[in-house]
């Protein structure tokens, strides 16, 4: 297929592959993965500065770059990583996308695995405990600061019901979206539902609120969809009871039950499928990992404690790559507990990372042209308004739960926090971190500084 025909078949975005292009892609994204400290905004700026413009390598034009950025912000997954995959795809087709993603993530993966192993191997040393005594609340402050910025962005869509200045920040709030955010926050704290269900409900309510004309015009079809959704929701809610009843009345062959139990009981399969599932619904950036992992990895599966999870986020934040690489921390811990050796821990980290990032490759190489066609659809945009607001609420709600561990006075084991009072030093660290982060102080400085200050307090107390 000629280059023109290949481009036309994929919506005019996909380029063609060659050894020279793949080498060029690998060199750029390996450099980005090594020096791109500062988060997604830095990654995006570096790609725009070095790959777009008259004096650059000119992988594509500015309009295509901005179109790619806009669509990556719509798709689930870490936006800067997906934009990198998109740029590799534009330059070198599917192989280019694979090379771009792999070389961008490789340095961060190595850093996370090394730091994770050091954390779990030497975490009981007083010096390490002292450092993470300060890091834990700093991470809570960072998440709160990120949620603050995400809230400003997500709540300004729609109409301007409220407008005010808070410090140096201008806030414009649509009260309908604020209600969705607040509802997701309360639901996450009190019920801790499946985050995907929260997002679906928020998207449906947003369509009802923002596009009532479309609802009226498609009333019959929507009524059928609603009935189907309610039936599926009921089946999901009662899934355990239904499975038990069917097992009693329609017994499956023993071999089938054995196979199902063996597949889901296999930690490797369970780890991969959970990360694949999580990576498919990471709207608004990597921090959406928090409600997913807090609910399942910490609460349901018990693979990490709340304290370990917050420390894992800190390790992910210290790297030049995406915070979604925290998934490698989870895989490393799970397989280190299971097998006790570094090679298995590294493999576990890789499986977790592969599962979490695989959807990003699929979205870009398979779904990008189709998403581009519906990007300006009013119904899709309305649903995304609601989903983005619910995402912020879910992140804040999950963070409230994690904060009880991060702020607790450490006595005995670090996780004995059920009835522990809050430590004023840790609360202060979180508040100061929030203020500094919203004033654009670099994350790495905040984590390292908080760890040093916390260690001094911990060791001198």
pLDDT tens digits for range 76-87:
888 889 999 999
* Shared domain check, 257 and 151: yes
Cα 429 vs. chain centroid, distance in angstroms? 24
**Maximum average pLDDT range among 31-45, 233-247, 335-349, 408-422:** 335-349
* Shared domain check, 64 and 183: no
Instruction: Note whether 288 and 75 are within 8 A (CB).
Output: no
* Shared domain check, 446 and 391: yes
* Shared domain check, 135 and 104: no
* Shared domain check, 64 and 37: yes
On the question of pLDDT at 11 being above 60, the answer is: no
Instruction: Note whether 444 and 317 are within 8 A (CB).
Output: yes
* 115 is a domain residue: no
* Shared domain check, 70 and 136: no
* 399 is a domain residue: yes
Helix (H, G, I), strand (E, B) or coil at 262: helix
Please tell me the distance from the alpha carbon of residue 352 to that of residue 101, in angstroms, as a whole number: 15
* The pLDDT value given to residue 1: 39
Instruction: Note whether 400 and 110 are within 8 A (CB).
Output: no
* pTM for this prediction: 0.85
Q: Six-digit token pair at 205?
A: 């309510």
CA–CA–CA angle 228, 232, 234 (5° rounding): 115
* 322 is a domain residue: yes
Domain range for 34: 3-109
pLDDT tens across 178-198, in order? 999 999 999 999 998 889 889
Q: Using the 3D structure, point to which of 109, 136, 155 is the last residue of a domain.
A: 109
* The pLDDT value given to residue 236: 67
* 119 is a domain residue: no
pLDDT tens across 332-360, in order? 999 999 999 999 999 999 999 999 999 99
* The pLDDT value given to residue 71: 85
On the question of pLDDT at 413 being above 60, the answer is: no
On the question of pLDDT at 69 being above 90, the answer is: no
Output the DSSP codes for 147-209: HHHHHHHHHTSS--SEEEEETTEEEEE-HHHHHHHHHHHHHHHHT---HHHHHHHHHHHHHHH
Q: Report percent pLDDT > 90 for the chain.
A: 48
What average pLDDT score do residues 13-28 get? 89
pLDDT tens across 142-191, in order? 999 999 999 998 999 888 899 998 888 889 999 999 999 999 999 999 99
Q: Using the 3D structure, point to which of 109, 136, 170 is the last residue of a domain.
A: 109
* Shared domain check, 28 and 152: no
Phi-psi region of 122 (alpha: psi -120 to 50; beta: other; left: phi over 0): alpha
* 182 is a domain residue: yes
* Shared domain check, 353 and 214: yes
Per the structure, how many domains does the chain have?
A: 2
* Shared domain check, 131 and 102: no
Q: Per DSSP, what are the bridge partners of residue 299? A: none
* Shared domain check, 443 and 341: yes
Which residue in 311, 312, 277 sits closest to 296, CA to CA?
Answer: 277
* Shared domain check, 300 and 178: yes
* 269 is a domain residue: yes
* Shared domain check, 286 and 245: yes
Distance set, CA 359 to CA 341, 384, 425 (Å): 29, 19, 40
* 121 is a domain residue: no
* 332 is a domain residue: yes
Distance set, CA 145 to CA 339, 399, 411 (Å): 37, 11, 28
pLDDT tens across 237-295, in order? 766 676 666 555 555 555 555 666 666 678 999 999 999 999 998 877 778 888 998 89
């Amino acid at each position: 297929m000629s280059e023109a025909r290949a481009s036309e078949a994929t919506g005019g975005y996909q380029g063609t592959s060659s050894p020279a292009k793949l080498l060029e892609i690998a060199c750029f994204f390996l450099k980005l993965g090594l020096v791109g400290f500062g988060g997604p905004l830095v990654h995006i700026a570096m790609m725009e500065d070095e790959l777009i413009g008259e004096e650059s390598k000119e992988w594509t034009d500015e309009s295509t770059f901005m179109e790619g950025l806009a669509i990556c912000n719509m798709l689930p997954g870490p936006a800067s990583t997906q934009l990198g995959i998109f740029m590799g795809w534009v330059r070198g087709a599917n192989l280019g996308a694979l090379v771009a993603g792999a070389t961008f993530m490789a340095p961060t993966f190595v850093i996370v695995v090394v730091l994770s192993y050091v954390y779990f191997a030497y975490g009981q040393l007083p010096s390490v405990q002292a450092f993470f005594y300060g890091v834990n609340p700093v991470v809570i402050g960072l998440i709160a600061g990120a949620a603050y910025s995400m809230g400003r962005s997500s709540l300004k869509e729609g109409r301007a019901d409220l407008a005010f200045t808070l410090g140096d920040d201008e806030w414009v709030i649509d009260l309908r979206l604020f209600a969705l955010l607040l509802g997701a926050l309360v639901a996450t704290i009190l019920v801790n539902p499946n985050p995907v269900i929260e997002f679906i409900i928020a998207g449906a309510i947003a369509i009802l609120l923002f596009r009532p004309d479309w609802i009226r015009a498609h009333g019959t079809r929507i009524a059928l969809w609603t009935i189907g959704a309610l039936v599926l929701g009921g089946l999901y809610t009662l899934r355990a009871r239904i499975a038990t009843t069917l097992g009693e009345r329609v017994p499956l062959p023993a071999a089938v039950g054995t196979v199902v139990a063996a597949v889901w009981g296999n930690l490797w399969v369970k780890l991969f499928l959970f990360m694949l599932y999580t990576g498919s619904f990471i709207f608004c950036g990597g921090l959406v990992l928090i409600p997913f992992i807090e609910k399942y990895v910490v609460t349901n599966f018990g693979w990490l404690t709340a304290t370990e999870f917050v420390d894992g986020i800190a390790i992910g934040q210290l790297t030049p790559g995406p915070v979604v690489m925290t998934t490698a921390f989870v895989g490393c811990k799970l397989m280190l507990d299971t097998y006790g050796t570094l090679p298995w821990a590294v493999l576990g980290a890789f499986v977790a990372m592969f599962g979490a990032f695989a959807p990003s490759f699929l979205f870009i190489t398979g779904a990008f042209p189709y998403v581009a066609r519906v990007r300006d659809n009013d119904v899709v945009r309305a649903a995304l308004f609601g989903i983005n607001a619910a995402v912020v609420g879910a992140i804040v709600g999950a963070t409230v739960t994690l904060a009880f561990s991060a702020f607790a006075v450490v006595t005995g084991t670090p996780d004995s926090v059920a009835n522990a009072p809050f430590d004023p030093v840790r609360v202060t660290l979180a508040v100061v971190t929030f203020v500094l982060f919203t004033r654009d102080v670099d994350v790495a400085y905040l984590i390292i500084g908080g760890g040093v200050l916390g260690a001094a307090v911990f060791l001198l107390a």
